[in-house]
Amino acid sequence: MQITLRQVGKRFNHHWIFRKVDAVLQSNAPVAITGANGSGKSTLLQVIGGAVEKSEGSISWQLNGETVPDEQQYPLLSFCTPYLELIEELTLLEMLQFHGRFKPWLPGLDANSIIALMGLEAATQKQIRAFSSGMKQRVKLAQSILSAAPVLLLDEPTSNLDTKGIEMYHQWMQQYTHDKLVLIASNDEQEISFCQQRISMAEYK
């Protein structure tokens, strides 16, 4: 999997958030987007994921050497962001079963084994609305990292996690993302410590 950015820019009204971003993102080479608060990390992640329209430049997705048309990119993508909402009315088990129906899990995983991986067995039949922020973050990470999608976009992945949750994140990134293209927006060095390549938003003002 490869995503190529050429001279990508985004503006809101007359204000440019970033301009002329060039980057080549590939599987097995996790990349971090770094920068100050408000520098545009989340916006760049959303532009790459197609959730926000770019204002200039081009973004091309290639799978096995073939260009992926825009409308076929979404099924290849899994996303974990602070603004992603879980379905609060569902229990944890219902939520994971529902998610698995339209986005398959990685081979060998199912709703019950994922609940065990998250350490949330006691909350299997609990509605998501009753979850703490850290429990919700574990579910969001599971939905994104453990889905069989080749592109993984993470925005502040360890926010609200306790020490065990942060260990879980690192373990999952090591174990389950080998073949994925991984892009992480973060200012927290411990959550991007394994990323060799960095995109620093300060360079694109």
Ligand X SMILES: Nc1ncnc2c1ncn2[C@@H]1O[C@H](COP(=O)(O)OP(=O)(O)OP(=O)(O)O)[C@@H](O)[C@H]1O
Residue 43 in contact with ligand X, rule: CB under 6 A: yes
Give the amino acid at 124.
T
Residue 37 in contact with ligand X, rule: CB under 6 A: yes
Q: Where does this chain touch ligand X (CB under 6 A) — which range of 36-44, 54-62, 85-93, 169-177?
A: 36-44
DSSP characters for 151-192? Answer: EEEEESTTTT--HHHHHHHHHHHHHH-TTSEEEEE-S-GGGS
166 Cα distance to chain centroid: 15
Window 176 to 205, contacts with ligand X (CB under 6 A): 185, 187
Residue 54 in contact with ligand X, rule: CB under 6 A: no
* 15/101 with CB nearer ligand X: 15
* 47/173 with CB nearer ligand X: 47
Which helix (DSSP H) or strand (DSSP E) does residue 150 occupy? none
DSSP characters for 15-30? Answer: EEEEEEEEEEEETT--
Residue 119 in contact with ligand X, rule: CB under 6 A: no
Residues that bind ligand X (CB under 6 A): 12, 17, 35, 37-43, 185, 187
